[in-house]
Copies of this chain bind each other. A is one copy, B any other.
């Protein structure tokens, strides 16, 4: 092929179009899926691949965040492909308002100022000299589930329905240490948290939350934050809507009233039927979703199988998940695969004997406050079809007699 002029021309163009591997990886996935890989029938007959600097995924299991969905500036965790409770860092959902900034950590600092005794600037090295903590928390975009609430469609996947929620281990410093260091005034009740992206995304946060369980984190799942998750540092407000967990955090200004930024006025408020709107509705309420089986699974055989999924609440640990296989007529308690952690996802499991008929699988979570996940009808009655955020209604899957599985959103 090397002597064929056309092929060399193609290689030349390829070389120009794809100057290096990293930029190729950041491109959108191709519209045409690659051909399926062909593995040897007997892998023991072939010497395997050598060791590598990083262990890549199997081509049979390549997974993606579907960045080409209709929501500009977001990509969704492929929940139907995941097991256990950890979301791999590169598959954590992303949502940003002016792209992912490219930041040199040596040029980045966090300014703490306003109603403080002494304004301070913290480099990443400075932060890492404080006592650190490691905690597992979910983050969920408050717009998660909007499309499936407004117009549920049978072909929706778990990723499409609820993929703006992810669960990882975070390491960082409790924010109250920084507040004490800067001497934040007791009169300060609100704080503006601002990111270093080009829209300067900023949210007003009650100081009580910052003194409670808020963190400034620099690591996720053991490694430094990835750029799409706020590298080199982000605000972590356990259990609160994703947008308030400001990424690329560069400034905390303390004051006595909210700033009324455009991300808490034109966005991230919840329009109600009576023409008013909920504002500063930070808490993410209890929610769950069955991820297996789910669309586009096809049940090939009858018999026992686990129904598994994820549940979480921004108000405390999940205390109960119930599963129904008859569209809510009967509910059964599911087991937890791990001990539920406050403000983290937990995987549930219910063993089900499919005897070949039609079935509708639902899950319903309860948290430590006693709150029970509502139906879509109940949510509609309170907030109306036009509400824009905080969709935590019960959803599920319709299993056909032929084994095909479709989304069921009209609960």
Seen from chain A, the residues whose Cβ lies within 8 Å of a Cβ on chain B are: 2, 8, 11-16, 18-22, 24-29, 37-41, 43-61, 63-67, 73-75, 81-92, 94, 96, 98-105, 107, 125, 128-134, 169-171, 196-198, 200, 218-219, 221-229, 231-232, 248, 300, 303-306, 308, 337-338, 347, 349, 351
CB distance A16 to B11 under 8 Å? yes
Complex partner residue of A43 from B51, B67, B101, CB under 8 angstroms? B101
Contact, CB under 8 Å: B26 / A24: no
Contact A26 B43 (CB under 8 A): no
Give the distance in Å from the alpha carbon of A12 to the alpha carbon of B12 in the complex: 5
Which listed residue, B2, B13, B55, B82, touches A89 by the CB 8 Å rule?
B55
Can you name 7 A-B residue pairings with CB atoms under 8 Å? A18-B18, A22-B56, A44-B101, A48-B102, A48-B197, A54-B91, A85-B134
A219 to chain B, nearest CB (A): 4
**Is B81 a contact of A223 with CB atoms below 8 Å?**
yes
Tell me whether A99 and B50 are in contact in the complex, defined as CB-CB below 8 angstroms, given that A86-B86, A223-B83 are known contacts. yes
Set of chain B residues within 8 Å of A101, measured between Cβ atoms: 43-44, 46, 48
Whether A61 and B102, one on each chain, are in contact in the complex, defined by CB atoms closer than 8 angstroms, is no
- Give Cα A388–Cα B350 distance, bound, in whole angstroms: 46
- Judging by beta carbons under 8 Å apart, are B43 and A169 in contact? no
A104 touches B60 (CB 8 A): yes
Chain B residues lying within 8 Å of A225, measured Cβ to Cβ, are 58
A225: nearest chain-B partner, CB-CB: B58
- Contacting pair B107 A59 (CB below 8 A): no
A44-B197, A221-B86, A223-B82 are known contacts. Are A55 and B103 too (CB-CB below 8 A)? Answer: no
Look across to chain B and name the residue whose beta carbon is closest to the beta carbon of A199.
B44
Sorted nearest first, the 6 A-B pairs with minimum C-beta distance are A15-B15, A48-B99, A83-B219, A53-B64, A39-B104, A51-B67
- Using A12-B11, A99-B47, A104-B37 as known contacts, say yes or no to A221 and B88 having CB atoms under 8 A apart: yes
Q: A14-B15, A51-B65 are known; give 6 further A-B pairs, CB within 8 A.
A: A46-B198, A48-B102, A51-B75, A52-B67, A81-B223, A88-B223
Give chain B residues whose Cβ lies under 8 Å from the Cβ of A28.
Answer: 50, 52-53
Contact A198 B48 (CB under 8 A): yes
Asked if A102 meets B50 with Cβ closer than 8 Å, knowing A19-B14, A94-B55, A169-B85, the reply is no
Minimum Cβ distance to chain B for residue A86 (Å): 4
Find out whether the CB atom of B349 lies under 8 angstroms from the CB atom of A132.
Answer: yes
Chain B residues with Cβ below 8 Å from A46 are 101-102, 198
Shortest CB-to-CB span from A170 to chain B, Å, is 8
B100, A218: Cβ atoms closer than 8 Å: no
* In the bound complex, CA of A90 to CA of B91 (Å): 13
**Cα A55 to Cα B76 with chains together (Å):** 11
Shortest A121–chain B CB gap in Å is 15
Instruction: Determine the chain B residues whose CB is within 8 A of the CB of A94 once the complex forms.
Output: 51-52, 55
Contacts of A18 in B (CB 8 A): 15, 18, 20-21
State A227–B46 Cα separation when bound (angstroms).
15
What separation, in Å, do the CA atoms of A176 and B133 have in the docked complex? 37
Q: In whole angstroms, what is the CA distance A38 to B59 when docked? A: 33
Q: Considering the chains assembled together, what is the distance between the CA atoms of A351 and B228 in angstroms?
A: 31
Q: A73–B125 Cα gap in the complex (Å)? A: 36
Q: Cβ of A99: which chain B residues have Cβ within 8 Å of it?
A: 47-50
Contact between B197 and A90 (Cβ–Cβ < 8 Å)? no
B21 contacts A198, C-beta separation under 8 Å: no
Bound Cα distance A52, B94 (Å) = 9
What residue of chain B has the Cβ atom nearest to residue A74's Cβ?
Answer: B51
In the bound complex, do residue B26 and residue A49 qualify as a contact, i.e. CB atoms below 8 Å apart? yes
Give Cα distance in the complex from A218 to B28, angstroms.
Answer: 28
Among B39, B50, B87, B103, contact of A107 (Cβ-Cβ < 8 Å): B39
CB of A131 within 8 A of CB of B15, answer no
Chain B residues lying within 8 Å of A300, measured Cβ to Cβ, are 125
